[in-house]
Each structure stands twice: as structure tokens, then as C-alpha cells.
């Protein structure tokens, strides 16, 4: 959540309030405590990074509300090395 704080820096406090409210209301309505997403994120990082090099610090897990439906949006940026084959050979284009 530090990234979130960084984002808020320099902004006015009403804007900060609005962002924080958006976030907390999504979680209130979905009845999912925000901290659970951080735990899920840690789990996902552990599982994926066993198979692929990923940019751990940029992984994001968010709840997205679209109409009646809540969904979990997970974004996992891959590191450059993942374009190589598991055997270490460069991919042929």
C-alpha cells in the first residue's frame, strides 16, 4: 500500500479522501476486508515466481465492481528474462 501513499503525495487532501473512500466502499460492499487482498497477493507471488520471473513489487490485486458482478483483477508484470526459453535459449522471432 506504500505505492498508494506515494500516489497521494502532493495531491490535495479532498482528493485523497475521495480515493480512500472509493477504495474502502468497494471493500465494504463486497464484504472483503482490504488486508485479505495483500495476503492473496503474497500467495500469488509465491506461486507464480516458482515458474516465472516476475516483477514482485508491481503485482497488483484489486476488486473491480462492474454492475452486479465483483471480480478480482490481478496484474502480474513479467520480467524481461521470461521471454527466454526455460532452457535458456533466446526465442526465435
Partner 1 sequence: MHPIVVTITSGKGGVGKTTCAANTGCALALLQKKVVVIDGDIGLRNLDIVMGLENRIVYDSVDVIEGRCRLRQALIRDKRAPELYLLPTAQTRDKTAISPQQMVQLCDELRKEFDFIIIDSPAGIEQGFHTCLAPANRVLIVTNPEVSSVRDSDRVIGLVESQEKGPAHLIINRLVKSRVKRQEMLSMEDIVEVLSTEVIGVVPEDENILMSTNRGHPVALNGQTPAAMAFHDIARRLSGEDVPLQVQQSTSFIKRLFGRG
Q: Which residues bind partner 1 (CB under 8 A)?
A: 1, 4, 8, 13-14, 16-17, 20-21, 23-24, 27-28, 31, 33-36, 38-39
Alpha-carbon 23 to chain mean position: 13
Do 76 and 54 touch, CB atoms closer than 8 A? yes
Q: In the complex with partner 1, which residue's Cβ is closer, 8 or 48? A: 8
Element (H, E) at 60: strand 60-66
Q: In the complex with partner 1, which residue's Cβ is closer, 30 or 82? A: 30
Alpha-carbon 30 to chain mean position: 17
C-alpha cell at 77: 508484470
Measured from the CB of residue 28, what is the shortest distance to partner 1 in angstroms? 5
Q: In the complex with partner 1, which residue's Cβ is closer, 34 or 77? A: 34
Measured from the CB of residue 9, what is the shortest distance to partner 1 in angstroms? 10
Amino acid at each position: 500500500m506504500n505505492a498508494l501513499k506515494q500516489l497521494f503525495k502532493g495531491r490535495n487532501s479532498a482528493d485523497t479522501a475521495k480515493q480512500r473512500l472509493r477504495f474502502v466502499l468497494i471493500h465494504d460492499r463486497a464484504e472483503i476486508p482490504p488486508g485479505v487482498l495483500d495476503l492473496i497477493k503474497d500467495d500469488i507471488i509465491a506461486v507464480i515466481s516458482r515458474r516465472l520471473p516476475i516483477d514482485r513489487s508491481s503485482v497488483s490485486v484489486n476488486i473491480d465492481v462492474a454492475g452486479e458482478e465483483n471480480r478480482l483483477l490481478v496484474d502480474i508484470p513479467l520480467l524481461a528474462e521470461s521471454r527466454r526459453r526455460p532452457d535458456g535459449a533466446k526465442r526465435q522471432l
